[in-house]
Amino acid sequence: MRFLMTTNGGGPAPDEKLFTEMALFIEELTSQGVLLAAGGLDPKGTHVSTKGGVMTLTDGPYAEAKETIVSFALVEVRSKEEVIEISRRFWAMIGEGEGDFRQVFE
């Protein structure tokens, strides 16, 4: 089963140490065959809304940084408990912040 893990903005800014730890973690998950894709997102995004067939684009940034998704990882695991364990390790590195994981329907 696949899960999309996301993190929101607003946490502490990453330092050199976190980058190194995260790179190792990503390498480990990749070599375990768990991590399928990951990436960071521009916090400035553009909001799209449609009403009555009319599309409106609104430039970010958003009022609250923590409302914005700033990174994602698509993982393939054997159970929900596995994604919880991966999250536990991930957030132990970050220290503080917010995010979600949601199952991807196949």
Nearer to other proteins, 76 or 98 (CB): 76
Q: Which positions from 72 through 91 interact with other proteins, judged by CB under 8 A?
A: 74, 76, 78-79, 81-82, 84-85, 88-89
Residue 3, phi then psi, degrees to nearest 5: -130, 145
Beta strands 99-104 and 69-76: pairing type? Answer: unpaired
Residues in contact with other proteins, total (CB under 8 A)?
Answer: 19
Distances in Å between the Cα of 28 and the Cα atoms of 6, 21, 25, 35 are 19, 11, 5, 9
Gyration radius of the chain over CA positions: 16
The secondary structure of the chain in percent helix, strand, coil, rounded to multiples of 5, reads 30, 35, 30
Which residue in 14, 24, 30, 102 binds other proteins (CB under 8 A)?
30
106 binds other proteins (CB under 8 A): yes
Residue range at the interface with other proteins (CB under 8 A); choices 7-15, 27-35, 44-52, 56-64: 27-35
Binding footprint of other proteins on the chain (CB under 8 A): 30-34, 36-37, 74, 76, 78-79, 81-82, 84-85, 88-89, 92, 106
